[in-house]
Every structure is written in C-alpha cells, then in structure tokens.
Structure 1
Amino acid sequence: MDRRRSVSQLRTVVDPKVLSAMRTVLSQDLAPGRSLGTATLVRVHVSAAEPHAAEIFASYQRGTQTFAVAGRIERARDSWRLVAVRLG
C-alpha cells in the first residue's frame, strides 16, 4: 500500500477481488495515513480459524500514528491466499 512494489506482484497470493480492492485504494489514494510517510510493521498475530484458514491481525505505524490491518488467509492447493483484508 506504500507503492514500494507493484500490486501485480501479489497476483499469486491474493484473491482477485481483494487485489481489485487494493488497486482501488491505491488509485484513489485511500490508504490510511498515507500522507504521514512510509508504513512500518509493528506487530503481527495469526489465529487459526479453521483447519485451512487463519485470521491475521497486524499493527503498523506511519509517523507517530498507529494503524491496524486485519485479514483472512485460506489454504488453496499448495499455498496460502489472502481472501479478505481491512485497513484502518
């Protein structure tokens, strides 16, 4: 979401609907706190939700403010795939 890498690089690990939403956030410059600078990951938690799914929670900082991101990953064949994400 910092545009340090192309969203297209996520194609193999992100659900197409989530990827489309990420592109919209970037094209409309809607990433929370983007004007505060580069995001720095602070903490990540993963919690098993089902045998082939997990909920992820993370916090990140931009400047002096702390933000959150949450999502769901699911096992698909031989890899994990991000199927939902929420920035806040």
Structure 2
Amino acid sequence: MRGILLDTQPGSTTPRPEAPPPDLEVATEARAVAVSVLARTLEVLDGRRPRGQLTGAVSPAVLAQITALLQHGIVAESVDCARLHRLHLQVRSPGAAEFFGTYQRGDRVRALVGTLERRPVRVSGPGGIRRTEERWVVTEFALV
C-alpha cells in the first residue's frame, strides 16, 4: 500500500500530490456516447423517436423511467423540441463516468444529470449473429 504524506501546516511549501489525469481516450469515448444517447433520449421524450431506439444504450431501469415520463405526459409541456445545450462529464474510473448539463426547450433551460457505466450489451453482428460487447450505458438519469 502506498501512502501519501499531506502537510497540514498552513503556509507550507510542500507540494501536494496531483490527481492523475483521466485517460483521454476513455473521456472522449464516454462524452461522445453521452451526447449521442442524451440527444436520442430528448427526441424520445419529445415523441420524435420510438423509445425502442434507446434499448442497449440505457439500462432497463432508465428505460422504465423514460416510459413512465412518457405515459404521464410530464415532459410534453411544450410544442418546442428539446435540444441538448451543454454537457459536462467527469470520469470516475475507466468504466464509470458522471454527466451533468442543460437542455433547452423553447425559452426554458433545464438541467439533466446521470451516470454512465461500461456494461456488457447484446448486439447483432454480421449475418444476424448476436454477440456481447462492452459498451457505455446510461445507468442513472434525471431531469431537474
């Protein structure tokens, strides 16, 4: 086990350890997936896409949550289409990341938050052969 000695004396000039930078490739891939999935999610909530297009990109719990929102008409408050405005991502590990950002519908700007995890997902390959791949999946999602 490695230990890190932190100087607790005020005004000390002892350098503090820096957190290792996240792997740029992991961060780039996770962000691209988050942007794509969230844009599709907003289109599903607007009724412009069927919710089946989120299968494999979101966890079953998130898909059930989106289905409940659609059934209760909670998000269909405007005729304007929602669009992703800003998105920030924090990589927690090579297999987990958190996102937060904003989306805009008409003049209103609202927040969204959630988590992504790398999980095994069944996908169709050439010739209809099904196989399992590790993919980023939205495992938690909330509109604020």
Give the TM-score of the pair, scaled to structure 1.
Answer: 0.89
1:76 maps to 2:132: no
Partner of 2:8: none
Which protein has the bigger strand share?
Answer: 1
1:15 maps to 2:59: yes
Partner AA of 2:68 in structure 1: T
Give how far 1:36 is off.
Answer: 5.4
Which protein has the bigger helix share?
Answer: 2
Secondary structure of 2:46's aligned partner: coil
Kindly report which structure 2 residues correspond to 1:47-58, keeping only aligned pairs within 5 A, or say none: 47-58=90-101
Give how far 1:51 is off.
Answer: 2.6
Deviation per residue, 1:22-42 (Å, 9 max, x gap): 0000111112x7325211211
Of structures 1 and 2, the larger Rg is shown by 2
Does the Cα contact within 8 Å between 1:53 and 1:74 map onto a contact in 2? yes
Give how far 1:50 is off.
Answer: 2.5
* Percent pairwise identity: 34
Does the Cα contact within 8 Å between 1:34 and 1:62 map onto a contact in 2? no
Partner AA of 2:93 in structure 1: E
1:6 maps to 2:50: yes
The answer to which structure, 1 or 2, has the higher relative contact order (CA under 8 A, 6+ apart) is 1
110, 119, 122: which one aligns with 1:67 = 110
Structure 1: gaps (5+ residues): none
Structure 2: gaps (5+ residues): 1-44, 121-133
